[in-house]
Structure 1
Amino acid sequence: MNPIPSTEPVFSRASLSPLVLGGGSWGTALALHLGWGGDPVVQWVRDPLLAKDIRQTRENRVYLPGVSYPSSIRIENDLEAALEGASLLVLAVPCQAVREVLEKVRALLPVPLPLIGGTKGIERKTHMLVSAIVREVYAESPESYAVLSGPSFAREVVRKLPTAVVLASPSHRLAREAQKLFSGPSFKVYTRQDVIGLEVAGAMKNVMALAAGISDGMQLGANSRAALLTRGLAEMTRLGVRLGAHPQTFSGLGGVGDLMLTATSELSRNRRVGVLLGQGNSLPEVLREVGQVAEGVPTTQSAHELAKEILVDLPITTAIYQILYEGAGLEETLQSLMARPSRSEEEDVVSGG
């Protein structure tokens, strides 16, 4: 596919009209959060039956039941109709659907709109982060894109419980305006410039949540979980630094903050998948029971393959890949991890785990 010529994105704070792309729990939470401010918001819901049900009941009974939509939010299933009048896009579709959705969006726009990415993951086959997909199929200029991440379960955001996230963009203007847009009494937004670090952390914390869940499902104890997550953070940082991220990003909200949330909370789908696997269930059985997308599963494959391409040692990711995709036994995988040679902890970011 030929890259789209770079065009300066249209952005007018005075006539701000956000369009949230995605009808899942996170897309719904972001639409509700923005809509509660009273300004008009459009939410594009891909599933026509779900879109119809939300319009009729003013509630997303599939993903966030019990939370009413304010009148400021308009639900659209037709993408062209959803884009009419929009001045800012908020991307909240599963990672593996990002390319397809953005290709359709770009084909309907005369020039790209600024895009806030709320999707976490690494694309299969290409092993691209979301920002790279955006540059390839939507807008080449990095000034068009910002990523929103951090410890933020949708169910707690819509309950208006205190939440702090981080927004990264190379564009100070976009970061500043998006920070104003998303900030609220219970939703604090910090900014930074390291898009790659925030995206790597947001993707890899789901892999580590799978690992932590497996550990808990096997009843390996609190010591094991703490060691696993500490080593997992070093692994996330090592991959990020190799891709050009700043190591400090991983000690912030989008790194250790999101890791702690996703790997330890009962609300985490990825942790739940891990727990069920650790209890001896097969992956197909687990995914059927969980029902919703657990981004850690495809991300494990993408990260494992990416690490082999760029020669980064990711032992925990490799172990989870072997369990998910090669049928490796839990006990033998654990023994293999524990048998790895001991090394200096100070070398982790540069070398391997």
Structure 2
Amino acid sequence: MRVDPADDDDVRACHRVQAAAQAVDDPLLPPMSFGVFRVWALHGWESNPGELWFVPGAAPGEALAWYQLELPDLENRDRAFLMPYVHPASRRRGIGRELLRHAADRAAANGRTVFGGGAAQDSAGDAFARQVGATPGLVEARRVLDLRKVPAGQFARLRETAAAAAAGYTLVSWTGPTPVEYLGRVAEVFNAMNDAPRDPGYEDDFWDADRVRDRADRLLRLAGVRGYSVAALHAATGQIAGLTQVEVDPQTPEWGFQGLTAVTRAHRGHRLGLLTKAAMLEWLAVAEPKLERIQTGNAASNKHMIAVNETLGYEPVKPGWQFYDLPVAAVGASVVKT
């Protein structure tokens, strides 16, 4: 059945499946709050159009499984991004394969030829992707910064060290959605992420002021998440040369989640990544007194950003995240009624 976005009972049923699956597959992280889940499940992290389908259980308000199908409308319009979840109590019954066949029907109906997706390494989802013939691609290595272990004054010292290499830059910060005066300049930093490692076949994203306002900031507007941004301004041009962002869900204030960190190509080599991230951590120590840990993820091949994170005290944690591609045509026809 397709989830009605206006029906919170259906969305909550899917949320319970996701929470149960995460507790088994990725127990390090706290459960995703319903507010964050609702925005992500219905809109995706990048606010692509999409569909949500679920397998109802025997009892009202119960689901056995569900999937999210993102259908990018700006770039990568040959692709559909698929995230299937099966409740641990309902696994090994063929439900995952039925979800995949149903999703293939929907992807083909929307003109998509390739599935993209990912799963925690060594999880049931990882094993399932390999079983159905998906091709493994980029691996995202995860790290966590335990703020309780950081010596007093450490971030201030790192900020000062980085600032010595960043003459001609000043720091600005804001909370919540991007201020209007920065939207276009923030878009240029988002575009710098096109230089980050990625699998072959993916197109560059193109960000402008409208896209930052309407899509990048949707989670902050709709889910009540607290967002923090620190940017390095180039004094001579007024450009935002570097930017780092962290989100904190008020429902789990002990955890922070690193969003984008990027430096535009013309301004690399001035330690702006370390400068903005160290300044962010100083700020969060005051703004989020309950914050204990921050999670970040980088392509395992992104040695530069990994080095910055390790300088700040981030430590590797398992599982990492394995991404996959799978041709839609390689999936058999669905036998599930839509």
Establish whether TM, by shorter chain, passes 0.5: no
Tell me which protein shows more helix as a share of its residues.
Answer: 1
Tell me which protein shows more strand as a share of its residues.
Answer: 2
Q: Which structure carries more relative contact order (alpha carbon 8 Å, separation 6+)?
A: 2
